[in-house]
Amino acid sequence: MRLLALLALLLFSSGIQERKELVITQQKIQVSGYTSVGKFNCDFSRAGMADTLRINSTEVRKGLEFKIPVKSFSCGNFLLNSDFRSTLKADDYPFAYVKVANFREKSGKIFCHLSLNLVGRKLEFPDLMLERNPKGLNGKLILNFDLLHLTPPSKFGGLVKVEDQLDLEILLGA
Protein backbone atom coordinates (compact mmCIF):
# COMPACT_ATOMS: atom_id res chain seq x y z
CA MET A 1 0.00 0.00 0.00
CA ARG A 2 2.83 2.41 0.86
CA LEU A 3 4.50 1.63 -2.46
CA LEU A 4 1.30 2.41 -4.34
CA ALA A 5 0.89 5.70 -2.46
CA LEU A 6 4.51 6.65 -3.12
CA LEU A 7 4.13 5.82 -6.81
CA ALA A 8 0.93 7.90 -7.04
CA LEU A 9 2.65 10.79 -5.27
CA LEU A 10 5.57 10.69 -7.70
CA LEU A 11 3.33 10.47 -10.77
CA PHE A 12 0.99 13.28 -9.84
CA SER A 13 3.41 15.62 -8.10
CA SER A 14 3.53 19.06 -9.73
CA GLY A 15 7.27 19.24 -9.06
CA ILE A 16 8.00 16.39 -11.46
CA GLN A 17 8.61 17.58 -14.98
CA GLU A 18 9.48 15.64 -18.09
CA ARG A 19 13.12 15.93 -19.08
CA LYS A 20 13.62 16.76 -22.74
CA GLU A 21 16.67 17.21 -24.91
CA LEU A 22 17.29 19.05 -28.15
CA VAL A 23 20.55 18.89 -30.13
CA ILE A 24 21.50 22.38 -31.31
CA THR A 25 23.36 22.41 -34.63
CA GLN A 26 22.93 26.05 -35.62
CA GLN A 27 22.85 29.46 -33.99
CA LYS A 28 21.61 32.65 -35.54
CA ILE A 29 21.39 36.16 -34.11
CA GLN A 30 19.54 38.83 -36.06
CA VAL A 31 19.39 42.52 -35.19
CA SER A 32 16.72 44.56 -36.95
CA GLY A 33 16.11 48.26 -36.79
CA TYR A 34 14.22 51.02 -38.48
CA THR A 35 15.43 54.21 -40.06
CA SER A 36 13.62 57.19 -41.50
CA VAL A 37 14.02 55.53 -44.94
CA GLY A 38 13.28 51.88 -44.12
CA LYS A 39 14.25 48.77 -42.22
CA PHE A 40 17.66 47.11 -41.87
CA ASN A 41 18.66 43.59 -40.80
CA CYS A 42 22.07 42.48 -39.62
CA ASP A 43 22.68 38.85 -38.79
CA PHE A 44 25.24 36.34 -37.72
CA SER A 45 24.84 32.60 -38.12
CA ARG A 46 26.95 29.59 -37.43
CA ALA A 47 26.18 26.03 -38.47
CA GLY A 48 27.96 22.75 -37.92
CA MET A 49 28.11 22.94 -34.17
CA ALA A 50 26.57 20.30 -31.92
CA ASP A 51 25.49 20.90 -28.36
CA THR A 52 22.73 19.31 -26.32
CA LEU A 53 20.11 21.54 -24.79
CA ARG A 54 18.38 20.05 -21.77
CA ILE A 55 14.95 21.32 -20.83
CA ASN A 56 13.76 20.93 -17.21
CA SER A 57 17.12 19.51 -16.20
CA THR A 58 18.07 19.51 -12.55
CA GLU A 59 21.76 19.33 -13.49
CA VAL A 60 23.84 22.40 -12.84
CA ARG A 61 25.11 23.35 -16.29
CA LYS A 62 26.77 26.46 -17.55
CA GLY A 63 24.38 26.67 -20.52
CA LEU A 64 25.11 27.43 -24.14
CA GLU A 65 27.62 30.22 -24.66
CA PHE A 66 28.34 32.01 -27.90
CA LYS A 67 31.24 34.37 -28.58
CA ILE A 68 30.29 36.36 -31.67
CA PRO A 69 32.75 38.57 -33.55
CA VAL A 70 30.91 41.86 -34.16
CA LYS A 71 32.69 42.16 -37.51
CA SER A 72 31.01 38.88 -38.59
CA PHE A 73 27.54 40.43 -38.62
CA SER A 74 26.31 40.93 -42.17
CA CYS A 75 23.89 43.74 -42.99
CA GLY A 76 23.66 43.29 -46.75
CA ASN A 77 26.24 45.76 -48.04
CA PHE A 78 29.57 47.20 -46.98
CA LEU A 79 28.16 50.63 -46.03
CA LEU A 80 25.57 49.17 -43.65
CA ASN A 81 28.16 46.71 -42.31
CA SER A 82 30.53 49.59 -41.58
CA ASP A 83 27.82 51.70 -39.91
CA PHE A 84 26.64 48.75 -37.80
CA ARG A 85 30.18 47.96 -36.63
CA SER A 86 30.85 51.59 -35.89
CA THR A 87 27.63 51.92 -33.89
CA LEU A 88 28.50 48.82 -31.84
CA LYS A 89 32.06 50.10 -31.32
CA ALA A 90 33.58 46.95 -32.83
CA ASP A 91 37.13 48.30 -32.44
CA ASP A 92 36.66 48.72 -28.68
CA TYR A 93 34.34 45.72 -28.15
CA PRO A 94 35.18 43.18 -30.87
CA PHE A 95 32.96 40.43 -29.47
CA ALA A 96 29.37 40.06 -28.36
CA TYR A 97 28.68 37.33 -25.83
CA VAL A 98 25.40 35.49 -25.59
CA LYS A 99 24.63 32.86 -22.97
CA VAL A 100 21.39 30.93 -22.68
CA ALA A 101 20.81 28.68 -19.68
CA ASN A 102 18.20 27.27 -17.32
CA PHE A 103 15.79 26.01 -19.98
CA ARG A 104 12.45 25.11 -18.49
CA GLU A 105 8.99 24.36 -19.74
CA LYS A 106 5.95 25.94 -18.11
CA SER A 107 2.43 25.45 -19.40
CA GLY A 108 3.71 24.21 -22.75
CA LYS A 109 6.03 27.19 -23.27
CA ILE A 110 9.81 27.18 -22.97
CA PHE A 111 11.67 29.83 -20.99
CA CYS A 112 15.38 30.44 -20.47
CA HIS A 113 17.79 32.82 -18.81
CA LEU A 114 19.56 34.97 -21.40
CA SER A 115 22.72 36.95 -20.68
CA LEU A 116 23.86 39.39 -23.32
CA ASN A 117 27.16 41.25 -23.21
CA LEU A 118 27.33 43.86 -25.94
CA VAL A 119 29.41 47.07 -26.13
CA GLY A 120 30.66 46.41 -22.62
CA ARG A 121 27.15 46.27 -21.15
CA LYS A 122 25.88 43.07 -19.56
CA LEU A 123 22.12 42.62 -19.75
CA GLU A 124 20.16 39.84 -18.05
CA PHE A 125 16.79 38.49 -19.14
CA PRO A 126 15.82 35.78 -16.61
CA ASP A 127 12.55 34.70 -18.24
CA LEU A 128 12.92 34.96 -22.00
CA MET A 129 10.16 33.02 -23.70
CA LEU A 130 11.25 30.83 -26.61
CA GLU A 131 8.94 29.64 -29.36
CA ARG A 132 9.18 26.22 -30.95
CA ASN A 133 9.27 26.13 -34.71
CA PRO A 134 10.30 23.51 -37.28
CA LYS A 135 13.87 24.87 -37.24
CA GLY A 136 14.28 24.74 -33.43
CA LEU A 137 13.69 27.45 -30.83
CA ASN A 138 13.66 31.20 -31.23
CA GLY A 139 13.32 34.13 -28.88
CA LYS A 140 12.79 37.84 -29.44
CA LEU A 141 13.82 40.90 -27.47
CA ILE A 142 13.39 44.61 -27.91
CA LEU A 143 16.40 46.70 -26.96
CA ASN A 144 16.85 50.45 -26.93
CA PHE A 145 20.07 52.28 -27.73
CA ASP A 146 19.98 54.04 -24.35
CA LEU A 147 19.82 50.64 -22.58
CA LEU A 148 23.20 49.94 -24.22
CA HIS A 149 24.40 53.51 -23.54
CA LEU A 150 24.58 54.19 -27.28
CA THR A 151 23.27 57.03 -29.39
CA PRO A 152 21.20 56.10 -32.46
CA PRO A 153 23.26 56.98 -35.52
CA SER A 154 22.20 59.48 -38.14
CA LYS A 155 23.55 60.24 -41.61
CA PHE A 156 23.48 63.09 -44.10
CA GLY A 157 23.10 65.83 -41.53
CA GLY A 158 20.23 64.09 -39.77
CA LEU A 159 18.18 63.30 -42.88
CA VAL A 160 18.53 59.57 -42.21
CA LYS A 161 18.01 58.66 -38.55
CA VAL A 162 17.89 55.29 -36.87
CA GLU A 163 15.01 54.81 -34.45
CA ASP A 164 15.86 54.07 -30.82
CA GLN A 165 14.41 50.53 -30.89
CA LEU A 166 16.37 47.44 -31.98
CA ASP A 167 14.77 44.03 -32.37
CA LEU A 168 16.99 41.10 -31.42
CA GLU A 169 16.06 37.57 -32.49
CA ILE A 170 17.90 34.44 -31.37
CA LEU A 171 17.48 31.13 -33.17
CA LEU A 172 18.79 27.87 -31.75
CA GLY A 173 18.43 25.46 -34.64
CA ALA A 174 18.12 21.71 -34.47
Using an 8 Å Cβ cutoff, are 43 and 76 in contact?
A: no
- Which structural domains are found in the chain, ordered by start? 17-173 (2.40.128.110)
Q: Which pTM does this prediction carry? A: 0.77
How would residue 25 be classed by pLDDT, with cut points 50, 70 and 90? confident
Interval 34-53 mean pLDDT = 84
Overall average pLDDT of the 59-87 stretch: 86
Q: How confident is the model at residue 6 (pLDDT cuts 50, 70, 90)?
A: very low
In this predicted model, which residue has the larger pLDDT, 122 or 37?
A: 122
User: What pLDDT was estimated at residue 140?
Assistant: 95
**2-11, 67-76, 99-108, 152-161: lowest mean pLDDT where?**
2-11
Spatial distance between the Cα atoms of 36 and 69, rounded to a whole number of angstroms: 28
Q: Is 70 exceeded by the pLDDT of residue 14?
A: no
pLDDT-based confidence at residue 4 (cuts at 50, 70, 90): very low
Is the pLDDT score of 68 beyond 80?
A: yes
